[in-house]
Amino acid sequence: MRIAYQGVTGAYSEAAALRLNASADLMSCLSFEDVFAAVDKRKATHGILPIENTIGGTIHRNYDLLLEHEFPIVGEIKLAVVHHLIVNRGTTLEQIKRVYSHPQGLAQCERFLRRLKGVEIVATYDTAGSAKMIKEEQLMDSAAIASERAARNFGLQVLQSGIQDHTHNMTRFLIVAQEATPLGPPDKTTIVFRLSNEAGALFKALSVFALRDIDLTKLESRPIPDRPFEYLFYADLSANPEEFRCARALMHLAEFAPSLKTLGSYPAWKELELPAAT
C-alpha cells in the first residue's frame, strides 16, 4: 500500500496514514490536488484527505475535489490532534513576531493566538511545512503551529504544548482509491445529491432515511459553481447501500432528487484506545 498525503513529514495527514497502516509506503504531496493526481497516475494506491475537524469544521475544498475526481471513498480515520507552538532553539515567547500554520491549525488554536499581542498570524499550506520553513530560514522571531513529531524531525523546540482551543480535538480523514474496494466490511456510505429549490425538498430528502431508521452522521451543503445559489448536499449514512433498507431509501430519494451519486461505502472508523498524534 502506498498512501499519498498532503504536507511534509510530520504532518497530521502523515500520522493518520501511519495509523491506517504503520508499514505503508508514504508519498508527500504539496497540495490536496496533488494527492488526487498521485492516485490518478497510479503513483500511489491510496490518498488520504482531512475532511473535518471538531474545532475548525469542514475542509470544504476536499468535498469539491471528491466530486471533481470521482475516486471512491474506501475508508476513514479519526485522529486526535495536539497542536504545539514550535520555534528554533533559543527563541523565547517574547521574541515572536509571526506565527505560521495551515488555516485549520490556526483556527483550532484561535484562543491561544488571541493572547499573543502584536503578533502577525500567517496562513501557509501545511502545519509541518511551517515548521520546516522556520528551520530552513532560521527565523528566530517566528513560530509554527505543528505536531511534536514535526519539531523532532526538524530539530526545533516545543515552546508551548497543547495550545488547541479544546482538549478533545479530532480530525476525520477519508481514504480514496482508484478501485472501489473498501478497507473492510462497509457499514458507512457517503452520498451527494441535488434538490429542486422548492418548499419541503430537504425535509422530504431526510425523511427517506428517518422512515427507515438510518442515521445520518453528517450533512453538508456546498454551492454549485455554475448554478448560482443552488446547492449540493453531502451526507454520511450509517448503512451499507446493499442493505435492503438503505437501497430502498436511495431509490426513494432518486425519485425526486435531480441528481444522486454514491461517493463510497466503507468501514466506519472504530475508536481505539491509541495515543493522540502529537
Q: Enumerate the active-site residues.
A: 171, 173
DSSP assignment string, the chain: -EEEEESSTT-HHHHHHHHH-TT-EEEEESSHHHHHHHHHTTS-SEEEEEEEETTTEE-HHHHHHHHHH-PPEEEEEEEEB--EEEE-TT--GGG--EEEE-HHHHHHTHHHHHTSTT-EEEE-S-HHHHHHHHHHTT-TTEEEEE-HHHHHHTT-EEEEE--SSSSS-EEEEEEEESS---SSS--EEEEEEE--SSTTHHHHHHHHHHTTT--EEEEEEEE-TTSTT-EEEEEEESS-TTSHHHHHHHHHHHTT-SEEEEEEEEPPPPP---PPB-
Residue 263: name the closest of 51, 98, 99, 11 by CA.
51
Q: In which order are the strands placed within the sheet that holds 259-266? A: 216-223, 231-237, 188-194, 259-266
Residue 139: name the closest of 51, 267, 124, 274 by CA.
124
C-alpha grid cell for residue 23? 508499514
